[in-house]
Amino acid sequence: VAISRDEKLVAGASRNGRLRVWDVATGMVRKGFKLSETDDKTGTPAYYADNFGLAFCPSDQHLAGCFCGQVYVWNAKSGDLVTSFSVATSGPSPIVFSPDGSHLVVGGEAIHVWKMDAGKQIAKIPAPNGEEIDSLAFRRDGAVLATIATGSSTVYLWDFKNQKLTAELERGTTVYDVDFSPDGQRMATACKDNSIRLWDTTKQNQVAVLRGHDDYVHAVAFSSDGNMLASASGDTTIRIWEAVPA
Q: What confidence score (pLDDT) does residue 56 get?
A: 92
In 3D, which of 62, 37, 35 has the Cα closest to residue 49?
35
Q: How far is CA 217 from the centre of its chain?
A: 15
pLDDT, the chain, mean: 86
Q: Please compute, for residue 100, the number of CA atoms within 13 A of its CA located in the half-sphere on the CB side.
A: 11
Q: How far apart are CA 234 and CA 81, in angstroms?
A: 36
pTM (2 d.p.): 0.84
In 3D, which of 98, 81, 112, 64 has the Cα closest to residue 180?
98
Q: What confidence score (pLDDT) does residue 118 get?
A: 87
Q: How far apart are CA 118 and CA 151, in angstroms?
A: 34
Note the pLDDT tens digit of each residue in 130-189: 888 889 999 999 999 999 998 899 999 999 999 999 999 988 899 999 999 999 999 999
